[in-house]
Amino acid sequence: MKKYLPHIRIPFKLFDDERIRKIPEEHRSSSLLILIALLKFVNSQNGQCYPRQATISSMVSLSRSTIYRCTDLLVEVGIIKKKRLKSTLLYVINPDYIVNKKIDVSSRDYDVSRKHIPRFMMTDISKSNFKELTYISNIVKEVIDKGGDRSKIISTLATLPADTLNKAIKEKDNPYFCSLAIQEQSNKRGKLVDIPNVINNIRKKTHFGYQSKVSKTKRDYDRKIKSKDLLRGDSKDKW
């Protein structure tokens, strides 16, 4: 039995949210379903995810045109942002809809409009999720800013040490890209020279017994060559 069952965490307010109500009724349920699908892939530290439309379509059984229209509506009401990349779209989800978002503790005043919830229990978008990127997220962002696509992100991350990538996966810092980067590292290792055999060969060649045998074999070979040369010389003298 699995110790951890993968799941999607959804805030209760999502089903009675004023932003959701602004979406036209004919697209509201589809938009809500697509948002839930995005929450499956989201990085809770920066609100980013990169699922392809084909992936979302296979999850929610909606056409790509419907997904495109509904994500535009989610952008209009301020629930998500999206940016076109070469091979996919970058989605950034408003931190109000992410359950495990960071908490801003820079201030502890109260806001009457938020039903007396302390401000330190809320997330400041300008100071936290969209600016304080993690190490891996900074690399991903830099690649995207330079016009890189999914394969470029993976190949760039594959240059990092495996320990760094494994740590990022445990911390849920872009685990999807980190897993693919580790897989790419494994594929490359399969094409490299077998390191243990190289080490064994070096160890063998530097061994005293091996060196002595090589020297003896070489001396015996030199004696044979000299003997053959002498025999040839004697034969020529006779003629």
pLDDT band at 204 (very low <50, low <70, confident <90, very high): low
> Per-residue pLDDT tens for 4-13?
677 888 888 8
* Averaged pLDDT of the chain: 77
Calculate mean pLDDT across residues 161-175. 87
Q: Is the pLDDT of residue 41 over 60?
A: yes
pLDDT band at 34 (very low <50, low <70, confident <90, very high): very high
Residue 195 pLDDT: 46
pLDDT band at 23 (very low <50, low <70, confident <90, very high): very high
Q: Is the pLDDT of residue 137 over 50?
A: yes
CA neighbor of 34 nearest in space, from 86, 87, 89: 89
CA separation for the pair 65, 74 (Å, rounded): 14
Residue 128 pLDDT: 41
Domains and CATH numbers, the chain: 9-99 (1.10.10.10), 102-132 (no CATH), 133-209 (no CATH)
CA neighbor of 80 nearest in space, from 37, 134, 124, 127: 37
Other C-beta atoms lying within 10 Å of the C-beta of residue 34? 26
CA separation for the pair 53, 144 (Å, rounded): 18
